[in-house]
Structure 1
Amino acid sequence: MIESSTPPLADLDGYRNVTDLLVARVTSAPDHVAFEVAGADAAAPWRPITTREFSDRVRALAKGFIAEGIQAGDPIAIMAPTRYEWAVADLASWFAGAVVVPIYETSSPSQVDAIIADAGVRLAIGGTTEHAALLQAALAKTDAGTLGAWTMDAAASGTLTDLVARGVAVTDDELEARRSSASQDDAATIVYTSGTTGEPKGVVLTHRNFLGQVLNIAAAYHEIVNESGNTVIFLPLAHVLARGLQLICLASGMRIAHLSDPSTVVATLDTLRPTFLVVVPRVLQKIQAAAADKAAEKKLSAVWAKARSTAIAWGIRAERMDAGRRIPKDLGLTLRHRFFDALFYRRLRTVMGGRVGYILSGGAALESDLSLFFRGIGVPVIEGYGLTETTAPLTGNLPGRIASGSVGSPLPGLTVRISDAGEVLARGIGVFGGYRNPAHDEGAFVDGFFRTGDLGRLDDQGRLILDGRLKDVIVTSNGKTIVPTRWESAVEADPLVSHAVMVGEGKPYLSALLVLDPEQTLAWAAAAGTSIPAVTQPDIREITDPALRAHLQRAVDAANALVARSEQVRRFSVVFADLEDRGLVTPTMKLKRSVVLDRAGATVEDLYL
C-alpha cells in the first residue's frame, strides 16, 4: 500500500476561526470546570476555573491588547513556561485578531532576536521578568513600531493585569468585531521549528488547520477526551502538540492542569488524578526503570523480570484480541498476570494517579515492548505521529485498535502517501500551506503533498510504520545503506542511555555514541560503587568506566541481535553531554546530530583507529 486516507468526521462550516471554539463552549457549559490552577493554599492547592471565568479573563486581556494598539493580523510573541496564563494569552491574542508567535522559554538571546525580527512581532509577553527583558531587548533591535514586552509575573511592573486595566474602555462590540475579523484561511500562529537539521523555519498555521485538527481529533477520540476526564499538560506550550491538545480539551470540556516543571509531574499525579496523559517515550522509560530500581532495592529483580515479561505477553494477547483474532485461553498467563497485578502493576497505576485510562506518546519512536508493557499493566499507550507542519498529529492509533510498532492510521481529514524513495508525504486538513519565508518552500512539497523528511511504510491496514529520518540515512564505504532508527531506539530502551547516535558515513563499519542520561547514570554509579564526574558545558566527554561499558555492552548486543549483520554496530563510545544545552538539544529534547558529531569529532575518529 502506498497511500492511506481517512475521511473527515467534522464539519467546519459553522466556525469562522479558532475563537469560536471557546465561544461555543461558554454557551453550552459556562460553569463547567475548564482548568485547575496551582495556588498557595496548602489545603486546596489547585483552584478550579470555570469556562466562563476563563472566557472573561481572555476577553479582558484581549481588550488590553486592542487598547495598547494591536491591530488585526499583528504578531504577538509568548515566551513562558507551561502555565495557565499561557492559555489566557494565547486565546486573548486570537480574540484581539492577532497572530501568536510562541517562543520556547529556553531559547537563547540570539534565537529570540531572530524570531522577533523574522515574524515582525509588535508586542511580547514573558513568563518572568527575565523573559520580558529578553523580549524587550529583541523588540528594541527591530524597526517596527513595537508595543513593548509585558510579563505574567504578578509582582513585577508591566504585567498582564496592567494590560487588562488599559482595556476597560474598549467596548464589547469593538472586541467582537476584532474577534471575528480573522477567517479560517488567515494565519493563526507562526511556529518556528526547533531545527535539528538546519535553521529554524517559520511554519504558518491557519485557523482552518487548527479547527480541522481540533474538531476531527476530538471526534475520533471522544471516548478519551470528554467532559468527565482531566489531563495534566507539562509539555512546552510553545510546541504545537501541547497547544493543539489544550484546544481539544477546551473544546471538549476536559479539565486541564498545567505544570511548568516536568520533574514534579509524578509527585502531582496523586492529587490531580488525570484520566489521560500526553508524554514522550522517555517518560515511560523512566517510569518502568523506577519500578525496576525499587524491585532491585528489595532483592526482587528476578521477580520483576517475570512481571515485565508477563505484562508484555498480556499486551500482545490484548492487541491480538483487538484485531479480532481468536485467542485460546491461557490459564497460566491469567494467573501470573493476576499475581503480578497485585504485586506490581496496581502500584504503578497508583503512581500515575490511579485513573489514567490512556497515555498518548509522541515526539520520538516508542519501543514496541514498552508499549506492550504498559498495555499489559492496564494503561494502554496510543502512539501517534506528526510535525509542526501538520499541526501536530498526522496519524494515530485509536482505542481498541492499537498496534504496537506502528503510529496508526491517518487521522480524520488526512492522507499519508509513501514516495518511491520511502518518504512519508502528507496532505489534508492539518497540513500547512507554506513557510513564512517562501524560499523555505523549495523542495518542501511534491504533487500537493508535504514532504515530512521521515521514512516509512504502510501495512495492509493502512497504518504507518516509521523507519527513520531521510537525512539520518548512513551509506558506508562498501555501499550499504543503513537506517539507524531501529538500532538506536533499541539501545535507548536502556534507562542509562538518553540518546544513541549511530555513525559510519563513508566508513567500513558502523559505530555509535551512547549519550548518557545524567540522573540515571549517577544513580547507577552510586549503586555500583563507582564515581562518574559530571559534564561541563559545552563538552562532550568520553566515559571509560569498565563496569559502565560492560553494562551498556549488553544493550548494544541486544540491539545488534535485532538487525541484519550489515546494520550491527561494531564499536561504541560512552559519552556525557550537557542535555540542557540548547545548542546541542532542541526544546523538544531531540538531539542535533550534526552538532553532536562535530563536538565529538575526535571521539568518533578514535572509533576507526
Structure 2
Amino acid sequence: MRAVEQALSRYAESDRPLVEVLDADGAVAASHSYRAVTRAARALADRIAGQLPAGRAPRIGVICGNTPEFVVTDLALLALRATGIPVPLAFTREQAASLLDGADLCLTDAQGAARLAEWGADAVLPAGCPVVAADLTAPATVPYRLTGADGDWISKVIHTSGTTSRPKGVRIRAHGVDALLGSLREVMPAGAFTRYLSFVPFSLLIEQVTGLYMVLLDGGCLTLLPSSAALVGTDAGAGEAALPYLAAARPTAVVATPALVAVVADAARRARAAGADIPRTLFGTATAPLICCGGAPVHPGTLRELDALGLPVHEGYGLSENSSVVSWNTPDARRIGTVGRPLPHVRVKVADDGELLVSSTSLFAGYTRDDPSSCLLRDGWLHTGDLAAIDADGFITVTGRKKNIIITAAGRNVAPEWVEAQYARLPFVQAVAVVGNGLPALHGLFVLRPGTDPDQARAAIEAFGAEHLSEVERVARVHLVDAGQQRYRRYFTVTGRPMRAAIEADLTQHQSTEPTQHQHDGPATRHRAATTTPHPPTTSKGRSMPTTRPEVRPYGAGTGKLVLAGPGHRTLGDLDPADTIALLAEAGFLVLRGFAPSLEDFSLFVKAHSARVTLDPARSFHGGDVAQKVDAGTAAVGLHLENGNSPFVPDLTWFLCERAAATGSQTTVCDGYRVWDAATDADRAAFAQDIVYGRGVEEDKWKRFVFHQLGGEKPLDAITLDDFRALAGDDPGTTITPRPDGSVHYAHRTPAARTTLFGDRLSWANSVFGPSYNYEQPVITFADGTPLPEPLLARMKRLTDDLTEDIDWHDGDVALIDNTRVMHGRRAIEDPARTVYNAQSYLDRDLLPGTAA
C-alpha cells in the first residue's frame, strides 16, 4: 500500500485534523490530528509487536465501531505488515467466531469490547488469543514509521456472505489495494475526499478505501457520526436519522447506500417545495459533494430527478474479490442507468451466458474457506456471478445476478433487481425484495417508512404494479413490514442488498400452487415485548410441505403427544409448522423423537414457529441466538412457567436433550388444565383473585434482558431503567423500583389461573412453586397483600405432584411446551453428564389454528 505510506510520510506529523467526531447536535465533539492518530498507531504497534508470531504476517482481529480507534488500529496493522480481520459488530457469536478462527490477537475499542463481552470472548476467540484495547488517550511520543519489510502481503481478510451462516473471508493483497487506489486517484476529481462523512461500518472494505485511504491521499479529514447514531445499513431508519449530519459536516464526498440516496431525494423534494437552496439545506455548502453509490441499483428516474435538482449521484459496482471497486461513474464520465466504466487497472468482458468477468491487478488472493457461493477465478478472469451488458462506450449495466433469476411456475424468467428498482421509486418504501422461484406469482417484501399507513401503502403498490409492470413482473403477494432494526438486519445487508434465501424461505414456505392472494404480514402480538417477524425457513425454497403427516402417539396420562420421525419426516425441517402448532394446541406439550437434530437444527426449528425469541438473562446462548444451556444446579426444580413471575411470559418453551441422563434427572410437565379441573371449588374460589410476585433482579441481568428484548437497538451499557419500564408499558399491575446498587425490585400482578394461548379455558399455570436458582427468592402474595395460606399451597402441591409426569428423555429428543398452559420442572439430577438446552419464544400468530397463511 505504497500510496498510503507515502501520504503518511507527508502528513503524519501534521496538526491538521485527520478524524473528527460529531456530537448529537452535529457539532464537532472531538478532533484528532494526524500527529495524534499516527503516533497512537505507532505506540499500539510497538505495544503488541512482542505478542505476535514471527515468520509470517500475523492475523489480527479488529472489533471496533466507526471510531477514531479503528483508524489507529488500521494504521498500526499497516506499520506491522499484519493482516487485519475487521469484524462487524452486528455479527452473531457464531459468525464472529468463524471469521476470527486462527486470529493471533484481537484489537478493540469501547464498542468492540462491549460486543465481545456480549458474545463471550471464550466463545469467539481462539484459545490463548490476547485482547488489546486501542487507545488514543495514552501518551504517544514516537512518530509513525513502518517496521515491516517491503513486498506484498495479505493486508486484510474481509467478510462476505456464503451459503451458510458462516461468513467467508476474502483475502485482500496490499498491492491489490494499492492498484485500486491508483485508479481511483486517476478518475476521481482532485481533492474530492478532502472532507469525508462516514455513514456505513468500517468493516466494509469500500468504507476503508474511501473513508480512510482516499482521505489520507488527499490529506483530508474523516468525519464520524456520534457513537449513539446507528450506521446506515444496520437499521432501516438510520438514513433518515443521519440526514441532519450531512448539513452539519459539510462533506466534500460521501459514499451512500441506495437507502440513503432515497432519503436524500425525499429531503431534496421537500427543500424544493419550500423554495429553499437544496445543496445548502442538505449539505451546508453552495454545491453538492461528490455523491457515490453502490451495493444495489437506484432507479434511473430517481437519478435523473436528482440530477435536475443539482445533486448528481455516481453509481458504481464492485465486490470484495476485486478489493472493492470494479467500475464507477465519475463527474467526467457518467451515464445514468449504468455502473460506469471499469477503472483503468480493470478489464471486463461478458461471457456467452451474460455473466460479467473481471480481470485486474487488484484481484483477491482466495478465500479463507471454500463455499459453493464462491466466485470462480479461471485463467485470470473472475467469474462474478452477475449478469451484465457493456455498451459501445464501455459503460457497464448490471442487470441482475445469475443465481437470483426467478423462474416462475409458468416458466417465465424475471430479474428481481430490475423489479425492485421500480417499486423502490415509491416514496414510502424503505426497502424492497422480490422472490418467487417456482411459484405461480411473485412475492414482494416491502419495508415501510415510519408513519406509513399499511392499507394506503398496499393500494399504492398494487396500483403502481398495474400501471408500470407486466403481469409477469408484477408483485401479486404483498408482504408489508415495519422498519425495525432487527427485521432489517435479518433481510438486508449493510449495503442494502436483500438476503434472498432468508426472505424467500420466510415469505413462501407455506406457498404452493394455489391461486394468488394479497397478504399482509403483521400479526398482532400477545406481549408488548414481542416484535413480530415472518418465521424463518423450515423447507428448501420453493418446496411444498409434505402431504403426509408424521406418526403421532399419545404420551403420558393426559393429552401430551409423541411425534415420531419416519418416511417423509426425517428431520425437524420436514415438519409443517402450522401442523405442529395445531397439534400443540390440542396436546399442551409435544415430544419429538428420532429426528436427530443438531443445535443449529433445533434453533432453526424454534425460529420457524416464532415471531421472536426471548431469553433467561441468567443463562448464556450456545451456538447462536436461540438455545441456552440449562443450568439450575442439581437439586429438584419446582413446577413453573418460563419467566412466569415477570410481565414477559413467553408463549412457548422448548427443550433439546442432546444427551439423556443414564438415571433420574428428568424434566417434568404438569398440565394446568388438568390441575384447574381437579381442584376443589373452594380452592378455585381462593384463586379467583390475582397473585403478585415481588423480587429483586441484579443490574446485569435486567439490563441483558432489556438489551435482548430491544433487539440490540441500544448498546448494553446505554440501557436505562426507563427502557425496562417502557417494555412493561402501561401495565398497572407491574411496578419497577430501582435500588442503590443498580438492581431493581419489581412487583408483577397476574392471575394464578389464566386463559391460554389457544383458548379461553382456564389453566392453573403459574410459578407459585417455581425455582429461584440464579435469582432472588420471590415473595408471592394475593393481590390484596395477604400471604398465600399454607394449607391452600399444601393442597395444590399434592394435586400438582399427582398430575406431574416425566418427559423420559432420549438422546436427541425435542420438547415443545405451551408455556401459557403447561408448567414444567425437574427431578433432582443424578447423572450430571446429561446435556439439555432450552429456548423461549413468542408464537408466530400466523400459525394459530384457524389463521390464514
TM-score range, shorter chain: 0.7 to 0.9
The one of 406, 419, 424 equivalent to 2:351 is 419
The one of 181, 185, 188 equivalent to 1:221 is 188
Question: Contact (CA 8 Å) 1:70, 1:98: kept in 2 or not?
Answer: no
Q: Distance in 1 between matches of 2:30 and 2:253?
A: 20
Opposite residue 42 of structure 2, the aligned amino acid is: R
1:185-200 equivalent positions in 2, closer than 5 A: 186-195=153-162, 199-200=166-167
Aligned to 1:242: 207
Q: CA deviation at 1:550?
A: 1.0
Aligned to 2:444: 513
Give the TM-score, by structure 2 length. Answer: 0.54
Question: Contact (CA 8 Å) 2:196, 2:222: kept in 1 or not?
Answer: yes
Aligned to 2:329: 397
Opposite residue 426 of structure 2, the aligned amino acid is: D
Deviations 1:253-284 (A, max 9, x none): 22211225344532223332112111011112
Deviations 1:285-318 (A, max 9, x none): 12223455x58xxxxxxx95xxxxxxxxxxxxxx
The one of 266, 269, 278 equivalent to 2:246 is 269
Aligned to 2:505: 598
Does 2:132 align with 1:150? yes
Question: Contact (CA 8 Å) 1:453, 1:470: kept in 2 or not?
Answer: yes
Aligned to 1:574: 480
Aligned to 1:251: 217
Question: Contact (CA 8 Å) 1:94, 1:179: kept in 2 or not?
Answer: no
Opposite residue 590 of structure 1, the aligned amino acid is: R
Aligned to 1:37: 20
Q: Distance in 2 between matches of 1:35 and 1:271?
A: 17
Question: Contact (CA 8 Å) 1:500, 1:512: kept in 2 or not?
Answer: no
Deviations 1:223-267 (A, max 9, x none): 3525xx311012110000000112111122222112253445322
Q: Distance in 1 between matches of 2:66 and 2:177?
A: 20
Aligned to 2:70: 86
Does 2:338 align with 1:356? no
| 1:601–1:44 CA distance, 2 compared to 1 (3 A) | closer
Aligned to 1:100: 84
Q: Distance in 1 between matches of 2:483 and 2:289?
A: 36
Q: CA deviation at 1:57?
A: 1.8
Does 2:451 align with 1:523? yes
| 1:270–1:140 CA distance, 2 compared to 1 (3 A) | closer
Opposite residue 219 of structure 2, the aligned amino acid is: G
Q: CA deviation at 1:131?
A: 2.2
| 1:31–1:224 CA distance, 2 compared to 1 (3 A) | closer
Structure 2 stretches lacking a partner, 5+ long = 232-237, 518-853
Aligned to 2:384: 452
Q: Distance in 2 between matches of 1:197 and 1:418?
A: 29
Does 2:18 align with 1:51? no
Q: CA deviation at 1:375?
A: 1.6
**Is 275-284 or 125-134 further displaced after alignment?**
125-134
Opposite residue 194 of structure 1, the aligned amino acid is: S
Deviations 1:500-550 (A, max 9, x none): 333332234x32223223xx2x3233xxxxxxxxxxxxxxxxxxx543311
Which structure shows the higher helix fraction? 1
Question: Contact (CA 8 Å) 1:414, 1:428: kept in 2 or not?
Answer: yes
The one of 552, 555, 559 equivalent to 2:464 is 555
Question: Contact (CA 8 Å) 2:476, 2:516: kept in 1 or not?
Answer: no
Question: Contact (CA 8 Å) 1:26, 1:55: kept in 2 or not?
Answer: no
Aligned to 1:309: none
Deviations 1:451-484 (A, max 9, x none): 1111110011111001011111011233322212
Q: Distance in 2 between matches of 1:282 and 1:594?
A: 21
The one of 180, 186, 190 equivalent to 2:148 is 180
Q: Distance in 2 between matches of 1:248 and 1:407?
A: 20
Q: Distance in 2 between matches of 1:41 and 1:589?
A: 25
Q: CA deviation at 1:608?
A: 3.4
Question: Contact (CA 8 Å) 1:101, 1:189: kept in 2 or not?
Answer: yes
Q: Distance in 2 between matches of 1:41 and 1:516?
A: 26
User: What secondary structure sits across from 1:343 in the alignment?
Assistant: coil
Aligned to 1:76: 60
| 1:553–1:440 CA distance, 2 compared to 1 (3 A) | closer
**Is 469-478 or 378-387 further displaced after alignment?**
469-478
Deviations 1:312-362 (A, max 9, x none): xxxxxxxxxxxxxxxxxxxxxxxxxxxxxx925x23542222243320011
Q: Distance in 1 between matches of 2:508 and 2:259?
A: 27
Aligned to 1:537: none
Question: Contact (CA 8 Å) 1:514, 1:573: kept in 2 or not?
Answer: yes
Q: CA deviation at 1:134?
A: 4.8
Q: CA deviation at 1:493?
A: 1.9
Deviations 1:78-110 (A, max 9, x none): 122212211111111221231100110111111
**Is 431-440 or 475-484 further displaced after alignment?**
431-440
Deviations 1:536-572 (A, max 9, x none): xxxxxxxxx5433112223323441xxx554344443
Q: Distance in 2 between matches of 1:193 and 1:56?
A: 32
Q: Distance in 1 between matches of 2:258 and 2:24?
A: 34
Question: Contact (CA 8 Å) 1:415, 1:428: kept in 2 or not?
Answer: yes
User: What secondary structure sits across from 2:451 in the alignment?
Assistant: helix
Opposite residue 452 of structure 2, the aligned amino acid is: W
Aligned to 1:468: 400
Aligned to 2:10: 27
Question: Contact (CA 8 Å) 2:432, 2:444: kept in 1 or not?
Answer: yes
Q: CA deviation at 1:395?
A: 0.3
Structure 1 stretches lacking a partner, 5+ long = 1-16, 153-158, 296-302, 305-341, 526-544
Give the TM-score, by structure 1 length. Answer: 0.74
Opposite residue 254 of structure 2, the aligned amino acid is: L
Percent identity of equivalent pairs: 23
Does 2:401 align with 1:433? no
Q: CA deviation at 1:203?
A: 0.3
Opposite residue 367 of structure 2, the aligned amino acid is: Y
Q: Distance in 2 between matches of 1:216 and 1:258?
A: 26
Does 2:170 align with 1:203? yes
Aligned to 1:339: none
Aligned to 1:230: 195
User: What secondary structure sits across from 2:108 in the alignment?
Assistant: strand
Does 2:81 align with 1:130? no
| 1:127–1:287 CA distance, 2 compared to 1 (3 A) | same
Aligned Cα root-mean-square deviation (Å):
3.1
The structure, 1 or 2, with the larger RCO (C-alpha pairs under 8 Å, 6+ apart) is 1
Aligned to 2:260: 283
Q: Distance in 2 between matches of 1:51 and 1:35?
A: 5
Q: Distance in 2 between matches of 1:220 and 1:243?
A: 18
